[in-house]
Amino acid sequence: MARAKPTVLILCTGNSCRSHLAEGILRAAAGDILDVQSAGSKPAGYVHPLAIAVMKEIDIDISQHRSKHLNEFLEKQIETVITVCGNADQVCPMFPGQVTRHHWGFDDPAHATGTEQEQLAIFRRVRDEIRARFTAYATERRSAPIA
């Protein structure tokens, strides 16, 4: 019988940008070995349109993602929690069965100002920073011995 894939939960405050960028990237890089989810401590209720746009540029579709509260996951078996903003790290509860926790902070592109092009540049920079870190994490997970 196949074992269930370990669940990685990516947390941010609003669950509108960074956590969805990370979820899409990690799911693309390791979705065959990990169940990747995201949530927020104070969900914004939407996925930022510029986050969807910059992910489309790298052929990852997050247009069907939804903003979720971390409480949706309190009864689930979460193996790893990764916080991508300081506020989420501070309010993050322990989950049943949680083995690992990481905090990798990234700037919040939702606060970008200026023209749409200037905002897109910030979203792209954060996306690329997230892609570098989460792709490396996927590589680490693939090379780790199975417990």
Identify the CATH number of the domain in which residue 98 sits.
3.40.50.2300
120 has a pLDDT exceeding 90 = yes
Query: Tens digits of per-residue pLDDT, 1-35?
Result: 556 899 999 999 889 999 999 999 999 999 999 99
Which pair of structure tokens corresponds to residue 132?
């570098």
**Looking at the domain assignment, is residue 46 inside a domain?**
yes
**Looking at the domain assignment, is residue 144 inside a domain?**
no
**Looking at the domain assignment, is residue 42 inside a domain?**
yes
**Looking at the domain assignment, is residue 146 inside a domain?**
no
Sequence letter at residue 7: T
Contact (Cβ atoms closer than 8 angstroms) between residue 21 and residue 57: no
Query: Tens digits of per-residue pLDDT, 55-98?
Result: 999 999 999 999 999 999 988 889 999 999 866 556 666 666 66
Q: Give the residue, 92 or 41, on which the prediction is more confident.
A: 41
**Looking at the domain assignment, is residue 38 inside a domain?**
yes
**Looking at the domain assignment, is residue 145 inside a domain?**
no
State the pLDDT at residue 57.
Answer: 98
What is residue 9's three-state secondary structure?
strand
- Could you tell me which residues are beta bridge partners of residue 81? 9, 101
Lookup result for tokens 């490396």:
136
**Looking at the domain assignment, is residue 107 inside a domain?**
yes
Could you tell me which of 95, 87, 86, 44 has the C-alpha nearest to residue 66?
44
Structural domains counted in the chain: 1
**Looking at the domain assignment, is residue 147 inside a domain?**
no
State the pLDDT at residue 32.
Answer: 94
Residue 127 lies in domain: 7-138
State the pLDDT at residue 85.
Answer: 83
Which positions are annotated as active-site residues?
A: 12, 85, 92
- Could you tell me which residues are beta bridge partners of residue 36? 8
